[in-house]
Amino acid sequence: MEDKKELRKRILNIRNNMDIEDVRKNSSAITEKIVNSDIYRQSNVVFIYMDFKNEVMTSQLIKHMLSAKKRVAIPYTDTVNTVLIPSEITGEADLVLSSLGYYEPKNVLPVYPEEIDLVIVPGVVFDKSLNRIGFGKGYYDRILNKLKPSAKKVAVAHEFQVLESIPNEEHDIKMDMLITEKGIWKGDTSSL
């Protein structure tokens, strides 16, 4: 079996070369599935990533959340302590483009992990048992293990990012649900 590093490289190579129209199309289909789900309807405080480099796009979803009066937090990357700080935003004016090419909060307004009831999780490779491989720094593993047990971890990905089975380690946090443009995989405790 390929190790995590090889899998990241192989799948990122495909994703980096995607046609932008396909990224948009997949993102719309995934957004549609999320906004029509019970998990989404029942959530009040959402932690959601800002996409870059052909990740499933989240801007439509964030707009929907804000107009549905949900509280929205996006990651502020604290590279010194290697942690993500969920930071509340209320609109585009609260965003600033980082040097790495993704949007970050202009001001850090922390939302405590215990307040969050839904996380939209990015990733590089997933499998049908809801395992996840990210960029390889452990940022998401470190924040996801601080959530309250009732919080839902919903990953989004393009279908080609989902493999039959991938390696996972003790510290890797499993998703509750995985959504692609083609389908949905659910864990034991989730209902959509």
Shortest reach from residue 67's CB to ligand ATP, in Å: 29
The residue (of 118 and 125) whose beta carbon lies closer to ligand ATP is 125
Q: Which H or E run includes 78?
A: strand 71-78
Contact partner at residue 4 from Mg ion, ligand ATP, none, CB < 5 to 8 Å by partner kind: ligand ATP
Contact partner at residue 139 from Mg ion, ligand ATP, none, CB < 5 to 8 Å by partner kind: ligand ATP
Phi and psi, residue 125, nearest 5°? -135, 140
Shortest reach from residue 143's CB to ligand ATP, in Å: 8
- Give residues in contact with ligand ATP (CB under 6 A): 4, 133-142, 145, 169, 171-172
Q: What distance in Å separates the CA atoms of residue 184 and residue 7, rounded to the nearest whole number?
A: 21
50 bridge partner residues:
none
Q: Does 139 bind Mg ion (CB under 5 A)?
A: no
Helix (H, G, I), strand (E, B) or coil at 15: helix
Q: What distance in Å separates the CA atoms of residue 104 and residue 85, rounded to the nearest whole number?
A: 11
Candidate ranges 33-41, 141-149, 159-167, 174-182; the one touching Mg ion (CB under 5 A): 141-149
Q: Does 141 bind Mg ion (CB under 5 A)?
A: yes
Residue nearest ligand ATP by beta-carbon distance: 134
Identify the DSSP state of 130.
Answer: -
Angle made by CA atoms 165, 20, 60, in degrees to the nearest 5: 85
Q: Does 127 bind Mg ion (CB under 5 A)?
A: no
